[in-house]
Amino acid sequence: MFDIIVIGGGVAGMTAALYALRNNKSVLLIEGTSIGGQIAQSPRVENYPSIKKIAGSELTDNMFEQISNLGAEFEFDNIEHIEKVDNVFKLTGEFANYESRAVIIANGVKHRKLRLPNEDDLIGHGVYYCALCDGPFYKGKDVTLIGDGNTALQYALMLSDMCSKVNLVIMFDHFFGDESLVKAVESRENIEITREAKTVALLGETELTGIRFERKDGTTFEILDTPLFVAIGQVPDNKKFENLAKLDKFGYFDSDESTTTITPGLFVAGDTRKKDVRQVTTAICDGAIAATGACNYLNTL
């Protein structure tokens, strides 16, 4: 029996563990794949206060070492179900079962990928999913962006402010975002929009050297020597927990900055909940708030 179980080993989850441990609570951190979450894949992080430049993997390794030294326990497992019985949370994992008096879900989201053969090998080596994080590295250069929703439109505007040219490629003949954003993008002189083109190949083995597209008529073309930003959506994995927490129409936890849910003692933190800004700093903020709330909840039992 633990005081708090944290589901998710990204920055939100590890921050939650840190705050809980410093409140003298016993903590089990459960992660399904690898420590660090999405930020661990970033080769450079330059928007973390007080640290001018650090690799994402180094940042998250430091966080993991910090909570380990404070006594956090750790398990690799995929939690498939949670239920609450008499103020005890019972977690069913793929490999084992666990119990705690409070739970913080910080399982993050996954970027929707293009599902091309070498995509994973090129992440951080020319292929990116966060223009806000990695766009500044290409200031004054040409870039390529794929996506037709609000996130892609916002990325296009942001990139056009710092890059010489933005090649915006969409699969259909129209956008699926807000009209005001569409008009703003279409009015930017350094945003070149290519419609009805599908991404069919990423060129390069260790570094992205080009992107191949296929038009509606079957002909192909390539954009060479630019980084690629992919903004085709994110995928939360929260439906298995909807017995204890409300979800919005997109599958994110319907929780505000308090990180609370409809179930006392259950908190949600980081990209997994609905929010306007998903950044390392906002995830850390959520983790601190969720852990503080969980500790306050435990003190009332």
> Which positions are catalytic?
130, 133-134
**What tokens appear for 181 in the block?**
């954003």
Pairing outcome for strands 97-105 and 266-268 = parallel
Contact status, residue 279 vs residue 48, Cβ threshold 8 Å: no
Q: Is the dihedral of CA 70, 73, 77, 83 positive or negative?
A: negative
Helical pair 56-69 and 11-22, crossing angle rounded to 10 deg: 20
Distances (CA, A) of 169 to 178, 191, 198, 222, 236: 17, 10, 8, 11, 25
**What tokens appear for 23 in the block?**
């409140």
How many angstroms separate the CA atoms of 237 and 204, rounded? 31
Pairing outcome for strands 165-169 and 191-194 = parallel
Alpha helices in the chain (DSSP H): 11-22, 56-69, 119-122, 131-134, 150-162, 179-187, 280-298
Tell me the three state secondary structure of residue 58. Answer: helix
